Copies of this chain bind each other. A is one copy, B any other.
Amino acid sequence: MLIEKVKTLKTISSSLLSISLETRNNALIAIEENLLKNIPFILEENKKDLDDAKDISNSLYKRLILTQDKIKEIVDGIKSVRSLKDPLGNIQMERELDKGLVLTRFSVPIGVIGVIFESRPDALVQISSLFVKSGNCGILKGGKEALHTNRALFSIIKDSLNSVDITLGKSLELAESREDIKELLKLDDYIDLMIPRGGNSLVQYIKENTKIPVMGHTDGICHLFMDKDGDIEMGLKLTRDSKCQYPAVCNAIETLLVDKHIAKEFLPKVKTVLEKEGVELRGCSKTLEVININSATEEDWDTEYNDYILSIKVVENLDEAMQHINSHGSGHTDCIVTKNMDNWNRFLMNVDSASVYLNASTRFADGNRYGFGAEVGISTNKIHSRGPVGLEGLTIYKYKLVGNGDIVADYAEGKKKFTHKDIL
């Protein structure tokens, strides 16, 4: 029964903080070694999934394929997680409340986390290694298309953990069926956080059907705003990269906003550059006055194309651009192209997004590029973690207070006074 598995995770989760960094890293080494040792077995199981894969899209099929090289890449990913500094036990605050009464706050694992991800089997390994490193218990649900591959990978991970530490061996569990998801979502007494990694509809479904806190993003509607004081060539280069470098992902832009003062000069060049890349352009009425492209509807401003399509809107000024971003964007990543530092500062302060950029491609919004080593996901939440989430997002803190028989009555009655002196 899934609930029994999850209850066990909850029970053992409190003991993971005591597992040393060395043991956690040794467990990661064991996973690395055993994955490499078992490449033929993994590829065999992967082939079963590929043979079964009939009604899935081409891109899904591609992501399902494992090769020897791909497995080596996955192992490199574990190594990079292993090389990260310990996310646990970091002292965030140390304060003398009074003489001999010291309060310390330090990072600890969140506890039990449920992750639901789609067909990519490399996600299973990446998430497992992040959880081992951060001392979290995980219940992992992969896509059914990758059933055999996931089982093979998971059995190798589980055996590796067990060979190093019996508690770590119990810290990860696999869920397999669609019914399992429904059951998971009810277990708010045992699961501290749900992380759905997948398309809009998955994330929306999870958010609507559980009391467990959810970390993730439903949409990635990112913007690039070409300010009147922006460099034209830079604007073209950044628009092209932000849209075309990899359009299927959440940090690609969906809408280009252009200040009206620069529209006549900028838009024809945008048309030339983007049409060469095969991008379909959809413009507002003012855009259509300058270039001959399809017209955009109101719906376009709220649409994540994830494809070679870009909507374009001419705005009166910076204010209209910011207003548009805050009302139609998803709070993910938005960029201004400008040489005007006042405009940049206003954009930075007023655009309510996780990542706000000056003269840089929105495609940089990613855990690896931010130097987090590995990415748990990208969050558009406004609490806990925002933007690309690394290991730190899998931790919370605990307060430790060390006294010597100190009682509150002494302070309430005025016999003693707090000093509140920061040590750290």
> Which residues of A does B touch, CB under 8 Å?
11, 13-15, 17-18, 95, 97, 101, 103, 110-111, 192-193, 207-208, 211, 213, 215, 231, 233-234, 237-238, 240-241, 245-246, 322, 326-327, 346, 348-361, 363-365, 369-371, 381-384, 386-388, 396-409, 411-412, 418, 420
Name 16 A/B residue pairs within 8 A (Cβ), A-sorted: A13-B352, A17-B349, A97-B370, A110-B382, A111-B382, A237-B405, A245-B409, A356-B399, A358-B403, A360-B401, A360-B405, A363-B408, A365-B399, A384-B396, A386-B398, A386-B399
Chain B residues with Cβ under 8 A from A361's Cβ?
A: 403, 406-408
Query: Known: A326-B14, A364-B97. Contact between A399 and B350, CB under 8 A?
Result: no
**Inside 8 A of A350's CB, which chain B residues have their CB?**
14-15, 17-18
Partner of A192, one of B370, B382, B398: B382
The residue that A208 contacts in the complex, of B211, B364, B365, B412, with Cβ under 8 A, is B211
Q: Is the CB of A352 within 8 A of B403?
A: no
Q: Which residue of B lies closest to A105 (CB)?
A: B387
Q: Quick one: which of B245, B357, B401 contacts A357, CB cutoff 8 A?
A: B401
| Residues of chain B contacted by A355 (CB below 8 angstroms) | 398-401
Min CB gap A15→B, angstroms: 6
Please, which residues of chain B bring their CB within 8 A of the CB of A97? Answer: 364, 369-371
What 20 new A-B contacts, CB under 8 Å, besides A14-B352, A18-B350, A359-B402? A11-B326, A13-B352, A213-B213, A213-B383, A245-B412, A348-B400, A355-B400, A356-B399, A358-B400, A359-B403, A360-B403, A360-B404, A360-B405, A364-B401, A364-B406, A369-B418, A371-B420, A383-B383, A384-B384, A384-B396
Task: Output the least CB separation between A202 and chain B (Å).
Answer: 16
- What is the minimal beta-carbon distance from A106 to any residue of chain B, in angstroms? 10
Q: In the complex, which residue of chain B has the Cβ closest to the Cβ of A363? A: B408
| Residue from B101, B370, B381 within 8 A of A95 (CB atoms) | B370
Interface contact A354-B407, CB-CB below 8 Å: no
Q: Are A101 and B245 in contact (CB under 8 A)?
A: no
Partner of A396, one of B95, B348, B382, B405: B382
Q: Known contacts A371-B97, A412-B245: does B402 contact A360 (CB below 8 Å)?
A: yes
> Which partner residue on chain B sits nearest A407 by CB separation?
B241
Q: Are A407 and B207 in contact (CB under 8 A)?
A: no
Question: Assuming the A-B contacts A349-B17, A349-B18, are A354 and B399 also in contact, with contact meaning beta carbons closer than 8 angstroms in the complex?
Answer: yes
Nearest CB of B to A249, in Å:
10
- Whether A193 and B101, one on each chain, are in contact in the complex, defined by CB atoms closer than 8 angstroms, is no
B207 & A383 in contact (Cβ 8 Å cutoff): no
Contact between chains at B396 and A386 (CB < 8 Å): yes
Of A350, A371, A412, A418, most B-chain CB atoms within 10 Å: A371
A353 proximity list for chain B (CB < 8 A) = 398
Given the known inter-chain contacts A14-B350, A381-B213, A400-B356, please indicate yes or no for A407 contacting B238, CB distance below 8 A. yes
Give the Cβ gap from A269 to chain B, nearest Cβ, in Å: 15
Shortest beta-carbon distance, A160 to chain B, in Å? 24
- Chain B residues with CB under 8 A of A364: 97, 101, 401, 403, 406, 408
Interface centre among A14, A192, A400 (most CB of B within 10 A): A14
A403 and chain B: residue at smallest CB distance: B360
Nearest residue (CB) in B for A106 is B348
Contact, CB under 8 Å: B408 / A245: yes
Return A121 CB to nearest CB of chain B, in Å: 23
Residues of B within 8 A of A192 (CB): 382-383
Q: Are B360 and A14 in contact (CB-based, < 8 A)? A: no
Nearest-neighbor residue (CB-CB) of A366 within chain B: B408
Q: Are B371 and A418 in contact (CB under 8 A)?
A: yes
Top 8 A-B residue pairs of the complex, sorted by shortest distance between their CB atoms: A360-B403, A241-B407, A371-B420, A363-B408, A14-B352, A192-B382, A234-B405, A384-B384
